[in-house]
Protein backbone atom coordinates (compact mmCIF):
# COMPACT_ATOMS: atom_id res chain seq x y z
CA UNK A 1 0.00 0.00 0.00
CA UNK A 2 1.54 3.37 -1.00
CA UNK A 3 2.10 6.02 1.66
CA UNK A 4 -0.31 8.31 -0.19
CA UNK A 5 -2.82 6.58 -2.49
CA UNK A 6 -2.57 7.76 -6.14
CA UNK A 7 0.79 9.43 -5.42
CA UNK A 8 3.09 6.79 -3.93
CA UNK A 9 5.20 9.43 -2.21
CA UNK A 10 7.21 9.48 0.96
CA UNK A 11 9.36 11.82 3.05
CA UNK A 12 12.19 11.37 0.57
CA UNK A 13 10.15 13.23 -2.05
CA UNK A 14 10.23 16.50 -0.12
CA UNK A 15 7.06 15.98 1.90
CA UNK A 16 6.96 16.32 5.67
CA UNK A 17 4.80 14.02 7.84
CA UNK A 18 2.58 15.89 10.30
CA UNK A 19 0.26 14.66 13.03
CA UNK A 20 -2.67 16.97 12.37
CA UNK A 21 -3.95 18.95 9.40
CA UNK A 22 -3.54 22.70 9.78
CA UNK A 23 -7.30 23.23 10.04
CA UNK A 24 -7.55 20.62 12.80
CA UNK A 25 -10.18 18.55 11.00
CA UNK A 26 -7.99 15.49 10.40
CA UNK A 27 -5.59 13.69 12.72
CA UNK A 28 -3.22 10.92 11.65
CA UNK A 29 -4.36 7.58 13.04
CA UNK A 30 -7.97 8.67 13.65
CA UNK A 31 -11.21 8.26 11.70
CA UNK A 32 -9.56 6.28 8.92
CA UNK A 33 -6.69 8.73 8.33
CA UNK A 34 -3.51 6.73 7.68
CA UNK A 35 -1.10 9.66 7.50
CA UNK A 36 -0.88 13.38 6.75
CA UNK A 37 1.88 14.99 4.70
CA UNK A 38 2.74 18.61 3.96
CA UNK A 39 4.69 20.03 1.02
CA UNK A 40 7.96 21.73 1.86
CA UNK A 41 6.46 25.20 1.45
CA UNK A 42 3.41 24.30 3.56
CA UNK A 43 0.97 25.28 0.84
CA UNK A 44 -0.68 21.87 0.42
CA UNK A 45 -1.37 19.01 2.83
CA UNK A 46 -2.30 15.46 1.81
CA UNK A 47 -4.64 13.49 4.05
CA UNK A 48 -4.18 9.82 3.15
CA UNK A 49 -6.89 7.25 3.77
CA UNK A 50 -6.70 3.57 2.84
CA UNK A 51 -7.97 4.00 -0.72
CA UNK A 52 -8.09 7.72 -1.42
CA UNK A 53 -6.37 10.98 -0.60
CA UNK A 54 -7.65 14.49 0.03
CA UNK A 55 -5.55 17.58 -0.63
CA UNK A 56 -5.95 20.61 1.61
CA UNK A 57 -4.84 23.84 -0.08
CA UNK A 58 -4.07 26.38 2.61
CA UNK A 59 -4.79 30.08 2.21
CA UNK A 60 -3.15 33.06 3.85
CA UNK A 61 -6.34 34.97 2.99
CA UNK A 62 -8.51 32.69 5.13
CA UNK A 63 -10.19 30.51 2.50
CA UNK A 64 -8.61 27.02 2.46
CA UNK A 65 -10.17 24.29 0.34
CA UNK A 66 -10.17 20.49 0.04
CA UNK A 67 -9.83 18.63 -3.27
CA UNK A 68 -9.87 14.93 -4.14
CA UNK A 69 -6.62 13.61 -5.54
CA UNK A 70 -7.43 11.88 -8.83
CA UNK A 71 -5.36 9.13 -10.47
CA UNK A 72 -3.12 10.48 -13.23
CA UNK A 73 -1.55 8.87 -16.29
CA UNK A 74 -0.61 9.91 -19.82
CA UNK A 75 -2.42 8.37 -22.78
CA UNK A 76 -1.34 9.02 -26.33
CA UNK A 77 -1.96 10.69 -28.61
CA UNK A 78 -1.59 13.79 -26.47
CA UNK A 79 -4.44 16.16 -27.30
CA UNK A 80 -3.33 19.26 -25.44
CA UNK A 81 -0.44 20.85 -23.58
CA UNK A 82 -1.12 23.34 -20.80
CA UNK A 83 1.82 25.67 -20.15
CA UNK A 84 2.66 28.01 -17.31
CA UNK A 85 3.84 31.54 -18.20
CA UNK A 86 6.37 32.86 -15.66
CA UNK A 87 9.47 30.72 -15.50
CA UNK A 88 8.23 28.05 -17.90
CA UNK A 89 7.48 30.07 -21.04
CA UNK A 90 8.98 33.43 -20.14
CA UNK A 91 11.72 34.15 -17.64
CA UNK A 92 10.24 37.03 -15.72
CA UNK A 93 9.87 35.91 -12.10
CA UNK A 94 12.94 37.91 -11.04
CA UNK A 95 11.20 41.04 -12.34
CA UNK A 96 7.96 40.37 -10.44
CA UNK A 97 9.83 39.46 -7.27
CA UNK A 98 11.62 42.80 -7.67
CA UNK A 99 8.22 44.54 -7.89
CA UNK A 100 7.17 42.84 -4.63
CA UNK A 101 10.47 43.88 -3.07
CA UNK A 102 9.91 47.49 -4.14
CA UNK A 103 6.38 47.33 -2.72
CA UNK A 104 7.63 46.23 0.69
CA UNK A 105 10.38 48.86 0.52
CA UNK A 106 7.69 51.50 -0.02
CA UNK A 107 5.60 50.17 2.87
CA UNK A 108 8.63 50.31 5.16
CA UNK A 109 9.91 53.61 3.84
CA UNK A 110 13.25 51.90 3.28
CA UNK A 111 14.54 52.12 -0.32
CA UNK A 112 17.38 49.73 0.53
CA UNK A 113 15.12 46.87 1.63
CA UNK A 114 15.77 43.49 -0.02
CA UNK A 115 14.04 40.15 0.30
CA UNK A 116 15.89 37.18 1.76
CA UNK A 117 16.71 33.97 -0.08
CA UNK A 118 14.28 32.13 2.21
CA UNK A 119 11.43 34.33 0.94
CA UNK A 120 11.66 33.24 -2.69
CA UNK A 121 9.36 30.16 -2.56
CA UNK A 122 6.62 32.38 -1.09
CA UNK A 123 6.79 35.30 -3.52
CA UNK A 124 6.58 33.33 -6.78
CA UNK A 125 3.92 31.09 -8.26
CA UNK A 126 0.98 32.29 -6.18
CA UNK A 127 -1.41 35.24 -6.41
CA UNK A 128 -0.41 38.84 -5.81
CA UNK A 129 -2.38 38.90 -2.55
CA UNK A 130 -0.76 35.64 -1.37
CA UNK A 131 2.72 37.04 -2.08
CA UNK A 132 1.98 40.31 -0.34
CA UNK A 133 0.29 38.63 2.64
CA UNK A 134 3.43 36.61 3.25
CA UNK A 135 5.60 39.74 3.14
CA UNK A 136 3.25 41.69 5.39
CA UNK A 137 3.30 38.97 8.03
CA UNK A 138 7.09 38.83 8.03
CA UNK A 139 8.21 42.40 7.44
CA UNK A 140 5.40 44.87 8.18
CA UNK A 141 2.48 43.31 10.07
CA UNK A 142 1.16 46.77 10.92
CA UNK A 143 0.38 47.47 7.25
CA UNK A 144 -2.81 46.40 5.46
CA UNK A 145 -3.13 44.16 2.42
CA UNK A 146 -5.14 46.88 0.71
CA UNK A 147 -2.31 49.38 1.14
CA UNK A 148 0.19 46.84 -0.15
CA UNK A 149 -1.92 46.03 -3.22
CA UNK A 150 -2.31 49.73 -4.00
CA UNK A 151 1.45 50.24 -3.93
CA UNK A 152 2.09 47.03 -5.87
CA UNK A 153 -0.11 48.13 -8.76
CA UNK A 154 1.38 51.62 -8.75
CA UNK A 155 4.83 50.10 -9.18
CA UNK A 156 3.48 47.69 -11.79
CA UNK A 157 1.77 50.39 -13.88
CA UNK A 158 4.86 52.57 -13.79
CA UNK A 159 7.31 49.82 -14.75
CA UNK A 160 5.09 48.26 -17.44
CA UNK A 161 4.56 51.65 -19.05
CA UNK A 162 8.30 52.25 -19.02
CA UNK A 163 8.90 48.88 -20.68
CA UNK A 164 6.31 49.58 -23.37
CA UNK A 165 7.96 52.93 -24.06
CA UNK A 166 11.42 51.39 -24.21
CA UNK A 167 12.61 52.99 -20.96
CA UNK A 168 12.19 50.02 -18.63
CA UNK A 169 14.26 47.03 -17.62
CA UNK A 170 15.54 45.31 -20.73
CA UNK A 171 15.92 42.02 -18.85
CA UNK A 172 12.30 41.91 -17.65
CA UNK A 173 10.83 39.37 -20.09
CA UNK A 174 12.97 36.75 -21.83
CA UNK A 175 11.53 33.75 -23.73
CA UNK A 176 12.60 30.42 -22.25
CA UNK A 177 15.30 28.66 -24.29
CA UNK A 178 13.75 26.48 -26.98
CA UNK A 179 10.24 27.92 -26.55
CA UNK A 180 9.78 28.82 -30.22
CA UNK A 181 10.85 25.40 -31.49
CA UNK A 182 8.72 23.62 -28.89
CA UNK A 183 5.55 25.58 -29.66
CA UNK A 184 5.95 25.08 -33.40
CA UNK A 185 6.58 21.35 -32.86
CA UNK A 186 3.31 21.09 -30.93
CA UNK A 187 1.46 22.85 -33.72
CA UNK A 188 3.01 20.52 -36.31
CA UNK A 189 1.69 17.57 -34.33
CA UNK A 190 -1.80 19.02 -34.16
CA UNK A 191 -1.60 19.39 -30.38
CA UNK A 192 -3.60 22.23 -28.89
CA UNK A 193 -1.74 24.62 -26.58
CA UNK A 194 -3.09 26.67 -23.68
CA UNK A 195 -1.25 29.30 -21.65
CA UNK A 196 -2.13 29.28 -17.94
CA UNK A 197 -0.97 31.84 -15.37
CA UNK A 198 -1.83 33.03 -11.87
CA UNK A 199 -0.79 36.48 -13.06
CA UNK A 200 -3.37 39.17 -13.65
CA UNK A 201 -4.08 39.96 -17.29
CA UNK A 202 -2.51 43.43 -17.20
CA UNK A 203 0.85 41.98 -16.19
CA UNK A 204 0.66 38.60 -17.93
CA UNK A 205 -0.35 39.56 -21.45
CA UNK A 206 2.44 42.11 -22.04
CA UNK A 207 4.92 39.41 -21.03
CA UNK A 208 3.87 36.87 -23.63
CA UNK A 209 3.31 39.60 -26.22
CA UNK A 210 6.90 40.83 -25.75
CA UNK A 211 8.20 37.25 -25.91
CA UNK A 212 6.27 36.47 -29.10
CA UNK A 213 7.55 39.64 -30.75
CA UNK A 214 11.14 38.66 -30.02
CA UNK A 215 10.49 35.12 -31.31
CA UNK A 216 8.71 36.24 -34.47
CA UNK A 217 5.58 34.25 -33.63
CA UNK A 218 3.09 37.05 -34.19
CA UNK A 219 -0.04 37.51 -32.09
CA UNK A 220 -0.19 35.17 -29.06
CA UNK A 221 -4.00 35.39 -29.03
CA UNK A 222 -4.01 33.92 -32.54
CA UNK A 223 -1.36 31.30 -31.73
CA UNK A 224 -2.64 29.85 -28.46
CA UNK A 225 -5.84 27.85 -28.43
CA UNK A 226 -6.66 29.29 -25.01
CA UNK A 227 -5.13 31.82 -22.61
CA UNK A 228 -6.27 31.73 -19.00
CA UNK A 229 -5.10 34.40 -16.54
CA UNK A 230 -6.18 35.37 -13.03
CA UNK A 231 -8.34 38.09 -14.56
CA UNK A 232 -8.45 41.76 -13.65
CA UNK A 233 -7.62 43.36 -10.28
CA UNK A 234 -10.31 44.82 -8.11
CA UNK A 235 -9.86 48.57 -7.77
CA UNK A 236 -11.84 51.38 -6.19
CA UNK A 237 -14.72 52.18 -8.52
CA UNK A 238 -13.80 49.26 -10.79
CA UNK A 239 -15.03 45.70 -11.22
CA UNK A 240 -12.50 42.96 -10.67
CA UNK A 241 -12.67 39.28 -11.61
CA UNK A 242 -12.17 36.14 -9.55
CA UNK A 243 -8.50 35.24 -9.27
CA UNK A 244 -6.97 36.22 -5.94
CA UNK A 245 -8.64 33.41 -3.96
CA UNK A 246 -8.40 30.69 -6.61
CA UNK A 247 -4.83 30.83 -7.98
CA UNK A 248 -2.30 28.03 -8.12
CA UNK A 249 -1.97 25.73 -6.15
CA UNK A 250 -5.77 25.57 -6.51
CA UNK A 251 -6.63 23.59 -9.67
CA UNK A 252 -9.15 25.98 -11.20
CA UNK A 253 -6.97 27.84 -13.73
CA UNK A 254 -5.75 24.58 -15.29
CA UNK A 255 -9.17 22.98 -15.06
CA UNK A 256 -10.74 25.96 -16.83
CA UNK A 257 -8.05 26.00 -19.53
CA UNK A 258 -8.75 22.36 -20.43
CA UNK A 259 -12.49 22.06 -19.87
CA UNK A 260 -13.72 25.51 -20.90
CA UNK A 261 -10.86 26.87 -23.01
CA UNK A 262 -10.16 23.69 -24.99
CA UNK A 263 -13.43 21.80 -24.49
CA UNK A 264 -11.75 18.65 -23.15
CA UNK A 265 -14.03 16.68 -20.80
CA UNK A 266 -12.66 15.53 -17.45
CA UNK A 267 -12.91 11.92 -18.61
CA UNK A 268 -10.36 12.66 -21.35
CA UNK A 269 -7.88 14.37 -19.00
CA UNK A 270 -5.29 11.60 -19.47
CA UNK A 271 -4.63 12.98 -22.97
CA UNK A 272 -3.58 16.31 -21.42
CA UNK A 273 -0.14 17.27 -20.14
CA UNK A 274 0.73 20.27 -17.98
CA UNK A 275 4.14 21.96 -17.69
CA UNK A 276 5.25 24.00 -14.68
CA UNK A 277 8.41 25.24 -12.97
CA UNK A 278 6.91 26.24 -9.60
CA UNK A 279 5.73 24.21 -6.65
CA UNK A 280 2.35 25.95 -6.65
CA UNK A 281 1.91 25.23 -10.35
CA UNK A 282 2.86 21.57 -9.99
CA UNK A 283 0.22 21.18 -7.28
CA UNK A 284 -2.36 22.97 -9.44
CA UNK A 285 -1.84 20.67 -12.43
CA UNK A 286 -1.83 17.57 -10.24
CA UNK A 287 -5.01 18.55 -8.39
CA UNK A 288 -6.71 19.29 -11.73
CA UNK A 289 -6.03 15.64 -12.63
CA UNK A 290 -3.46 16.08 -15.40
CA UNK A 291 -0.11 14.42 -16.09
CA UNK A 292 2.37 16.79 -14.46
CA UNK A 293 5.73 17.76 -15.94
CA UNK A 294 8.08 19.78 -13.75
CA UNK A 295 10.81 21.93 -15.30
CA UNK A 296 14.27 22.69 -13.93
CA UNK A 297 15.05 26.26 -12.97
CA UNK A 298 12.09 27.09 -10.75
CA UNK A 299 11.36 26.41 -7.08
CA UNK A 300 9.98 22.87 -7.37
CA UNK A 301 12.78 21.28 -5.37
CA UNK A 302 12.86 24.10 -2.82
CA UNK A 303 9.10 23.89 -2.28
CA UNK A 304 9.26 20.13 -1.70
CA UNK A 305 6.94 19.27 -4.58
CA UNK A 306 9.17 17.37 -7.00
CA UNK A 307 7.56 14.12 -5.93
CA UNK A 308 4.24 15.39 -7.29
CA UNK A 309 5.68 15.50 -10.81
CA UNK A 310 5.05 12.56 -13.13
CA UNK A 311 8.18 13.66 -14.98
CA UNK A 312 10.93 16.19 -14.31
CA UNK A 313 12.64 17.75 -17.35
CA UNK A 314 15.63 19.98 -17.97
CA UNK A 315 14.41 21.39 -21.30
CA UNK A 316 11.61 21.31 -23.87
CA UNK A 317 13.32 18.57 -25.88
CA UNK A 318 12.77 16.27 -22.89
CA UNK A 319 9.11 17.24 -22.79
CA UNK A 320 8.67 16.58 -26.50
CA UNK A 321 10.20 13.12 -26.04
CA UNK A 322 7.56 12.37 -23.39
CA UNK A 323 4.80 13.58 -25.70
CA UNK A 324 6.10 11.38 -28.53
CA UNK A 325 6.39 8.36 -26.26
CA UNK A 326 10.17 8.20 -26.24
CA UNK A 327 10.61 8.71 -22.51
- pLDDT tens for 111-148 read 999 999 999 888 986 778 889 999 999 999 999 999 99
The pLDDT score that the predictor gives to residue 226 is: 97
Q: Which of 229, 185, 191, 233 is nearest to 85 (CA)?
A: 229
The DSSP-derived string for 109-146 is T-TT----GGGGGGSSSS-HHHHHHHHHHHH-TTS-HH
Is residue 110 a part of any domain in this protein? Answer: yes
Do 300 and 160 share a structural domain?
no
Name the pTM for this structure: 0.85
Tell me how far apart the alpha carbons of residues 270 and 73 are, in angstroms, rounded to a whole number: 6
Q: Name the domain count of the chain.
A: 3
Tell me how far apart the alpha carbons of residues 43 and 299 are, in angstroms, rounded to a whole number: 13
Q: What is the pLDDT of residues 184-238, one digit of tens each?
A: 999 999 999 999 998 888 888 888 888 898 899 999 999 999 999 988 877 777 7
106 is in which domain, residue-wise? 93-164
Cβ–Cβ contacts within 10 Å for residue 47, how many?
A: 23
Is residue 106 a part of any domain in this protein? Answer: yes
Q: Is the predicted pLDDT of residue 259 greater than 90, yes or no?
A: yes
Do 309 and 202 share a structural domain?
yes
Do 130 and 86 share a structural domain?
no
The pLDDT score that the predictor gives to residue 320 is: 97
Do 202 and 87 share a structural domain?
yes
* Average pLDDT across the chain, whole number: 91
Do 211 and 87 share a structural domain?
yes
Q: Is the predicted pLDDT of residue 1 greater than 60, yes or no?
A: no
The pLDDT score that the predictor gives to residue 231 is: 87
What's the CATH number where 274 sits? Answer: 3.40.50.1000
Q: Is the predicted pLDDT of residue 175 greater than 70, yes or no?
A: yes
Is residue 170 a part of any domain in this protein? Answer: no
Tell me how far apart the alpha carbons of residues 117 and 126 are, in angstroms, rounded to a whole number: 17
Cβ–Cβ contacts within 10 Å for residue 35, how many?
A: 18
Is residue 135 a part of any domain in this protein? Answer: yes
Do 247 and 110 share a structural domain?
no
**Distances from the Cα of 198 to the Cα of 112, 245, 269, 316, 324, angstroms:** 28, 10, 21, 21, 28
Do 318 and 180 share a structural domain?
yes
The pLDDT score that the predictor gives to residue 12 is: 58
Q: Mark which of 108, 142, 164 sits at the end of a domain.
A: 164
Do 244 and 137 share a structural domain?
no
Do 47 and 185 share a structural domain?
no
Is residue 73 a part of any domain in this protein? Answer: no
Amino acid sequence: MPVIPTLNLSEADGLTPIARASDGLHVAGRDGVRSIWRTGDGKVEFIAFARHTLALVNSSLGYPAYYPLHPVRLERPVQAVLMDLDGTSVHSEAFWIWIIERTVASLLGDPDFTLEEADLPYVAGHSVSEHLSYCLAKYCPDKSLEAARDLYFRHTHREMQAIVEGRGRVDAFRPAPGLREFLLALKERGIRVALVTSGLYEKAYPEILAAFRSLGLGDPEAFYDAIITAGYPLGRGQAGTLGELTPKPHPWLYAEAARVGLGIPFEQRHHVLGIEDSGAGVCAIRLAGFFTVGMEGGNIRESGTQGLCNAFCSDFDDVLAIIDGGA
